[in-house]
Amino acid sequence: MRRLTQTFAFITLLATGAAAGCLDPFGLPDPPDPQDQVDAALPPDATPPDAAPGDCVPQVQSVGSGYHNPGQNCLECHNGQAAGAPVFSIGGTAYKSDGVTPLSGSTVILIDAAGTVLHLPTQQNGNFYSQAQLVPPYITAVSRCPTNAQMIENFRDGDCNSCHSGVDQPGRITFP
């Protein structure tokens, strides 16, 4: 029973911290236009590819800061409910294999059910995000030559950090 109480207290603390993290006292600019991130789209009746592209993507040399709150639940605030926060369709944070160091300059490749392909660069703090309108489920991979790492299963929730988390390390998407 004590373990259950401690778990509930920890979850409550995390939820309170996530809500507090939604405030942006710095007045940061909006993220890039989502249409700039769309590489290609198949007709709506087309069958999406079975896997993310196999060719690796070279390191992105110039990336932004990623703004704030790496590893947190991006869509907790970027869902249309928080004043001033742009609405994201997908967001998350990627880390190097140590699970601590932000993965900067890699590319998250996402293909939605309509065949839309996004290349989302990981920012200086490891964050990646998009405002593009997407159709679930999604196929995704992280890429930086010479390596690609494809997610094992397709997913429907655009908040990557909601699943890629643990008690000790929230929101950990790691890449070799």
- In angstroms, the CA 155 to CA 89 distance is 13
pLDDT in tens, 52-77: 556 788 888 878 777 788 878 888 88
The predicted pLDDT at position 109 comes to 93
In the structure encoding, which two tokens stand for residue 84, read together?
């001033």
Q: Look at residue 9 and tell me if it is in a domain.
A: no
Q: What integer best gives the mean pLDDT of the chain?
A: 71
Beta strands in the chain (DSSP E): 38-40, 90-96, 107-111, 117-121, 127-130, 139-144, 147-150, 173-175
Average pLDDT over residues 80-107: 88
Q: Look at residue 6 and tell me if it is in a domain.
A: no
Q: Look at residue 108 and tell me if it is in a domain.
A: yes
With CA atoms as reference, report the closest residue to 146 among 51, 52, 53, 56. 56
Please say if the pLDDT value at position 176 is more than 90.
no
CA atoms within 13 A on the CB side of 171: 25
Please say if the pLDDT value at position 38 is more than 50.
no
Scan for tokens 């000790």, then name that residue: 168
Question: Domain span at residue 103?
Answer: 32-175
With CA atoms as reference, report the closest residue to 104 among 70, 141, 132. 70
Q: Number of folded domains in the chain?
A: 1
pLDDT in tens, 99-148: 888 889 999 999 999 999 999 999 999 999 999 999 999 998 999 888 88
The CATH number given to whatever domain includes residue 64 is 2.60.40.1120
The predicted pLDDT at position 112 comes to 93
